[in-house]
Structure 1
Amino acid sequence: MARNLHARPSAFRRFIDSESSGGIVLMAAAALALIVANSPLAETYFAALHSYLGPLSLSHWINDALMAVFFLLVGLEIKREFVDGQLSTWSRRILPGVCAAGGMAVPALIFASINWSNGAVIRGWAIPTATDIAFALGVLSLFGNRVPASMKVFLTALAIIDDLGAVLIIAIFYTGDLQVWALGGAAAILAVLFGLNRAGVRTLLPYLALGAGLWVLVLLSGVHATVAGVALAMTIPIVRPKGGESEHTVESPLHRLEHALSKVVPFVIIPVFGFANAGVSLAGFDASALIEPLTLGVAGGLVAGKVIGVYGTALLVIKLGWADAPRNAAPLHVLGVAVLCGIGFTMSLFIGLLAFPENQSLQDGVKIGILLGSGIAAILGSIILVLSPRPGGEEARAF
C-alpha cells in the first residue's frame, strides 16, 4: 500500500506552525548576537553593521527598511482586529485597552522617576512601555490548556493595542527635524492609496509599489521610516463576506498580505533585527552596571511597571464592574500574563535605538536592562502560571 506522505506534517512544518517557535528563533538570534559580540568575531560583527550599502548603513537598512515590513504586519493585525476581530466591539476593547494603557503609563513613570535628574537618559522613558507579542505569546503557549484560552485572547488584544501605542509614541516623540516637502509628498501618496481603497482596487501590486515610495518620503521627512509600514497597512482593503458568500471564497487583500508576511516576519526579519541589535560587548563588564539608573529604569519598568500597570488596572476595572474577567481565569492567571507583558524585547530595543541613536554606551545599558527585565519577566511569569489553578475550577472564579 502506498504511503501517504501528507498524513503527518514534518517536524520542521510543525515547528514553524507552533505559536512558540517565533519566540524561540528570536531568543536564539539574541543569544547568538551576544556570543558573537564577545568572541574574536566581535570586530567584524560591529564593523559589518556600520558598513554602507548604498545610501544607508547595514544597521539602518535593517532598522529602517526591514522593520518597516514588521510594522506593516503589525498595522495589518491592528486593522484586522479592530475591523473584524477580537477588538471589533467596545465591550471587547475595554479590558485589554485600559490594561494596555496602564501597562504603558506605569513603566514610563517608573523609568522617569529613577532617571529624572539625568537629562540625557530621560529621553528613554518609553523603552519599558512595549510588550513583545511574539515572545510573550510564545512563553504562554508552552503551558497549553493549563492556561485558559481567554488569557491568550486577552494577551493578544492587549499587545496589539500596546503596539498601536508604541507606534504613536515613535511618531510623536521620536521624530527628528521635519522636512515639509517630504511630508507633503507622503500625504499625497497616502491620499492616492486611500483613493484606491475607496475605488475597490483589490490587487496588491499598486498598494505595495506606492508603499515603497511612501517609505522613501517618510524616511526623508524626519518621521521614523517604520511609521510608513503602519500607514500603508491602514490603506489595504479588508473585505467581509456578504450574504451567501463564504470566508474562503472572498479574496481580501489584507488577509492575503498578512498571510504572505506571517512567516517572513517572525522567522527572517525579527531574528535578523535581534541578531543585529542584541549584541553587546561585555568586555570590562562590572556587576555595578546592573544597578545603573538606566538599566534599573528599563528592567524595573518592564517587570514592576507591567505588573502594577496591567494587573492593577485589570483588578480595578473588574472590581468596578466596567469589564468582565477573562472567562475561566483566576487572578493568578491574569497576574502571570501581566508579568509576561514585561517581555519587551523587540519593540523596547527599537525604541532604545531611537532614544539614543549616537550613544553606544547608553544603547548597551538599554540592552542589558532589556535582557535582564525580559528574562526576569519570562521566568517569574512562568512560575506564577505553573502555580495557577486549572481553568474552570472554583479557584478560577475568584475575581
Structure 2
Amino acid sequence: MKTAAKSIHMTLKAFFDNEAASGIILIFVAILAMIVANSGLAHQYHDLFHDRLPWTPIPKLYNLHLWINDGLMAIFFFVVGLEIKREVVDGALSDPQARRLPVIAAIAGMAAPALVFMAIVMGENAPELHRGWAIPAATDIAFAMGVMGLLGNRVPASLRLFLLTVAIVDDLGAVTIIALFYTANLKLMWLIASLGVLAVMIGLNRFRVDRWWAYALLSLLLWFTVLNSGVHATIAGVLAAFTIPMRLDSHGDSLLLRFEHALLPWNAYLVVPLFGFANAGVALAGIGLSAVLDPLPLAIAGGLVIGKQVGIFAAIMGANKLKLAPKPPGATWTQIWGVAILCGIGFTMSLFIGALAFPGYPLLIEEAKIGVLLGSLISALLGFAVLRFAKGKDDEDEAAPAAA
C-alpha cells in the first residue's frame, strides 16, 4: 500500500510540476463546464453561480459568480501584476533590446484581432456588438504554455520565452483596456480613497517596509475601495502587485518573489479553473449550434484565429526585415508561425472581457463565450499541429545536403 501511495504521490507531483499541467486542467474544466451546462444538471449549474447568496459581507457581491469574477479574480490579476513587475525589473522585459520584439508582436497581436472583429461586425445594425472589440485581444498564458508543454523539446527555448513575454505584455494591454474602456459610473470619493490606499502602499515600499501582512491587508483594502469606485475591482490586484518590493535580501530573495511563489499554485490550480468552470458553460439549447455563424462569435473566433496569427507573424517578419529586432534565435519561420497561432488561445482574459463588454445582454455574453471557446480550440489544435510537424533548425541543417 505504501509503495502504491508513494507512486501516486510521485505521479501527481510530476504532473503538477509540468508546465503543461495548468493548461490541461483548463481544457478539462472548459469541457466539463460545457457538458454540465447542457446536461440534466444545467439548472443546478446556473443556480449555483447566479442565485442570491443567503448572506454576503459585501452586498455588491450578492452571488457566487460575482465573488469569483470580482473577488477571486483579483488574485489572478495580482499574480499577473507580480509577473509583469518581475519581468520588467529583472527579466525578459528589463533589457530594452530583448523586449523590443515581444512588445512589437504583442501590440500587433492586440490590434489585428480588434480590426478583424470590427470588420466582421461593422456591417451589422447592432452597435452594441462594437463593445466586444477587445475580447480577442488577449492571450491565455496558462493555456498556451500548456499546449506548448505537451510538445516537449520540439519547441526551442527562445520561442517559449518569446510566447511567455508576449502573453505578459498582452496581459498588461488587457488590464489597461479594462481600466480605460470597461469602466463606468465612477464614484469620486471611493476613487480618492483608492488612490490614498495606493499611495500608502507606495510609501511602504519607498521606506523599505517588507512586512508581508501590511501589504496583504492594504491590498484587501485597495480591492474594496476600487470595487466601490466604479473601476473594475480586479484592477486593484495589478496596482497592488506593482507596489510589492522586488529588492533582494541577503538570501537573494524578495517579498515579490515570496508572494509569487506562494500564490502561483493557488492561482493556477484553483482560481483560474474555478473561473473557467463558472464562465465557460454555455447552454446551447437556448442558442443553438447555428449561433456559431452569428456575427459576434464569428468575429471573436476570427479575431483569435486569423487576427492573432497574422498580426504577430507579420510583426515579427517586419521587425526582422527592417532590422528593428531579430527573430527568436534557433527557431524556423514555421515554428514561429506555430507560436503565433498559439497566441490565439484567449480563454481566461477573453471570457473575462466578454462578461464586462455586454452588461444587460445575457445572450451576447453567451455568444461571446462560444466565440472564445471556438477560437481558442481552433488555435490550440492548429498551433499544436504546426509545431508538432515543423522541422527544427537541426532538422533543416541535416536535410540540406540531401536536398542538394
TM-score of the superposed pair, with normalisation by structure 1: 0.94
1:354 is aligned to 2:356: yes
Calculate the aligned-residue CA RMSD, in Å. Answer: 1.8
Shift of 1:165: 0.1
Distance in 2 (alpha carbons) for counterparts of 1:44 and 1:131: 31
Structure 1 counterpart SS, 2:228: helix
Query: CA offsets per residue over residues 65-100 of structure 1, 9 Å max, x none?
Result: 000000000000000000001111111111000000
Question: What is the CA–CA distance in structure 1 between the aligned matches of 2:357 and 2:298, rounded to whole Å?
Answer: 16
1:328 corresponds to which residue? Answer: 330
**In 2, are the aligned partners of 1:330 and 1:395 still within 8 Å (CA)?**
no
Shift of the 87–9 alpha-carbon distance from structure 1 to 2, 3 Å rule, reads: farther
**For residues 46-195 of structure 1, what are the structure 2 equivalents within 5 Å?**
46-53=46-53, 54=56, 55=59, 56=61, 57-116=63-122, 117=124, 118-195=126-203
* Superposed CA offset, 1:24-69 (max 9, x none): 1111111111111111111111112112331211111000000000
Are the equivalent residues in 1 in contact too, given 2:190–2:226 (CA < 8 A)? yes
Does the alignment pair 1:218 with 2:218? Answer: no
Residue of structure 2 in register with 1:19 after alignment: 19
Matched, 1:236 2:244: yes
Deviating above 6 A after TM superposition, structure 1's stretches of 4 or more consecutive aligned residues are 5-9
1:84-132 alpha-carbon deviations (Å, 9 max, x no partner): 0111111111100000000000000111111124211110000000100
Q: Distance in 1 between matches of 2:262 and 2:358?
A: 33
Per mean C-alpha deviation after superposition, the further-off stretch among 102-111 and 23-32 is: 23-32
Any conservation in 2 of the 1:147–1:391 contact (CA below 8 Å)? no
Judge which range, 308-317 or 232-241, deviates more.
232-241
Please name the residue that 1:33 is paired with: 33
* Contact 1:131 1:343 (C-alpha < 8 Å) held by counterparts: yes
Whole-Å separation in 1 of the counterparts to 2:222 and 2:137: 28
What is the CA-CA distance between 1:383 and the residue it aligns to?
Answer: 1.2
1:44 corresponding residue in structure 2: 44
Contact 2:108–2:315 under 8 Å retained in 1: yes
Task: Give CA-to-partner distance per residue, 1:5-28, whole Å, 9 cap, x none.
Answer: 999971111111110000111111
How many residues were matched structurally? 388
- Note if contact 1:33-1:275 (Cα within 8 Å) is conserved in structure 2: yes
The equivalences for 1:249-288 within 5 A come to: 249-283=251-285, 285-288=287-290
* 2:309 and 2:337 in contact (8 A); partners too: yes
Counterpart pick for 2:341 among 305, 322, 339: 339
In structure 2, C-alpha distance between the alignment counterparts of 1:211 and 1:311, rounded to whole Å: 38
Residues 198 and 374 (structure 1), Cα distance of their counterparts in 2 relative to 1, 3 Å cut: same
Amino acid at match of 1:301: G
Distance 1:312 1:235, change over 3 A: same
| Richer in helix (by share) | 2
Residue 331 (structure 1) shift = 0.3
State how far apart, in whole Å, the 2-side matches of 1:101 and 1:256 are. 30
SS at the partner of 1:223? coil
Q: CA deviation at 1:356?
A: 1.1
CA distance, structure 2, for counterparts of residue 98 and residue 173 of structure 1: 22
| Paired residues of 2:335 and 2:392 also in contact (CA < 8 A) | no
Do the aligned residues in 2 keep the contact of 1:131 with 1:344 (CA within 8 Å)? yes
Separation of aligned partners in 2, 1:102 and 1:395: 31
Query: The residue matched to 1:221 in structure 2 has which SS?
Result: coil
Per the alignment, residue 317 of structure 1 pairs with 319
User: Deviation at 1:257?
Assistant: 0.2
| Residues 215, 244 of structure 2: 8 Å contact kept | yes
Normalised TM-score (structure 2) = 0.93
**Paired residue for 2:210?**
202
Cα deviation code 1:341-364 (max 9, x no counterpart): 000000000000000132111011
1:81 and 1:216 map into 2 onto residues whose CA distance is 27
Moved more, 342-351 or 116-125: 116-125
Residues in 1 aligned to 2:328 and 2:211: alpha-carbon distance in whole angstroms: 39
Letter in 2 for 1:11: T
Relative distance call for 1:7 and 1:352 in structure 2 (3 A) is closer
Distance 2:35 2:395 in 1: 45
Counterpart residue number, 2:371: 369
SS of the equivalent of 1:52 reads: coil
Change (3 A) 1:101 1:228: same
